[in-house]
Amino acid sequence: MLIGEHKHTLDDKKRLSLPSKFRKELGKTVVLTKGLDTCLFVYSVKEWQKFSTKLGELSMGQGDTRAFSRYFLGGAVETDIDSAGRILIPDFLKDLAHLKSKVVVAGLGTRVELWDEKRWVDYQKALEKKADVVAEKLGDIGMI
């Protein structure tokens, strides 16, 4: 399972080291795509196939469905994890997530998220302020 929060540095060649325990679970090739909330999503090939299959099953007649598929599938790239455990972040994805030098690598079960460190800290502070409200909503649907 991909869990935990790690801080890594994006080098001058736009390479980012992934935590070794994440590399073991992700495999040798990953899919990197646009995420939500101004971050990037990283999937193992197996998890990406599950996700993209679900997207493909949605109705093409719905404009929101087409837009959502374009956003995630059109912005996706396959990239290999090199021998040093790094992935290359293409410019368009680096710019989209506003990644600078310090990057938070967060494991979220079936995917990894890549965040600019300052944006991650700001997001976490905002989330902490409304965690009780979110918990109540999750309780209402039987999640917790």
CATH of the domain at 43: 3.40.1550.20
User: pLDDT class for 79, splitting at 50, 70, 90?
Assistant: very high
32 band by pLDDT with thresholds 50, 70 and 90: very high
**Residue-wise DSSP of 44-101:** EHHHHHHHHHHHHTS-TTSHHHHHHHHHHHHT-EEEE--TTSEEE--HHHHHHTT--S
Q: Among 65-69, 90-94, 116-120, whose mean pLDDT is lowest?
A: 65-69
pTM of the model: 0.91
Residue 96 lies in a domain: yes
Looking at residue 30, its pLDDT comes to 98
Instruction: Indicate whether 141 belongs to any domain.
Output: no
Count up the domains in the chain and report the number.
1
Within-domain flag for 51: yes
The residue range of the domain holding 52 is: 2-116
